[in-house]
Amino acid sequence: MRFERTKMLFKDDFEKIRSGKVLLLGVGGVGSFCLDSLVRAGVNDITIVDHDKFDLSNQNRQLHSELHEGESKVLALQKHYKEVRVLELKVDEKWVSEFDFEPYDLVLDAIDDRVAKMALAQKCYKKLISATGSAKRVDPTKVEVGTIWSAHGDKFASKIRYELKKRRFNKKYPVIYSSESAKVKEKGSFMAVTATFGLVMSSLAIQRLIDR
């Protein structure tokens, strides 16, 4: 049976995983691994949102990218994960302000747009799990979980904190971050780190679905 070993681990909690309703924003180097892990764990209702297409530069870190160069990411991934629903659009501040997040148990933020990330925090922090900067690093053992206020070693998270304070936002929500100093200025990336971000996001999501 497909989920036999998952059931061995989670026992009666498997039904909570199975019935969870998840919205995953961004299916790149972080989001694609999160998606794969959630589907393999048995989450049966996942909507993925992304506007981008696979290109050659994605192939060092994004699942299935080498098979679908030039194709829509969400439509390509739907071929591999029949369970998912797709929204092919850009997650920006305007979309966040207009979208209804109420039907979802969890909102998983694997996007790069800082302004959209802040809008997500303000609108749905209670059901949000967010990834900060996964690029420029080489050590997956430095990936940690905290709140947006406790994340350290990450300039991207620091900028988000600064802007949220200006907006008088003081709520807590979990973030995945790396305490490792950036190795380069450019957006170089290493799959061992970006994938770890995605897998940690998946683990947090499963725990939240069980605890809800």
Mean pLDDT, residues 64-75: 97
Which pLDDT tens digit goes with each residue over 112-147?
A: 999 999 999 999 999 999 999 999 999 999 999 999
CATH for 4-211 (3.20.20.70, 3.40.50.1400, 3.30.565.10, 3.40.50.720): 3.40.50.720
Helix (H, G, I), strand (E, B) or coil at 108: strand
Mean pLDDT, residues 39-52: 97
Q: Above pLDDT 90, what percent of the chain?
A: 96
Mean pLDDT, residues 3-11: 97
pLDDT at 1 over 90: no
pLDDT of residue 83: 85
pLDDT of residue 184: 93
Q: How confident is the model at residue 187 (pLDDT cuts 50, 70, 90)?
A: confident
For 160, counting Cβ atoms within 10 Å of its Cβ (0-12 exposed, 13-18 middle, 19+ buried), the class is buried
**Whether pTM exceeds 0.85:** yes
pLDDT of residue 175: 98
b vs e for 37-73, b when ≥16 Cβ sit within 10 Å of the residue's Cβ? bbbebbbebbbbbbeebbeeebeebbbbbeebeebbb
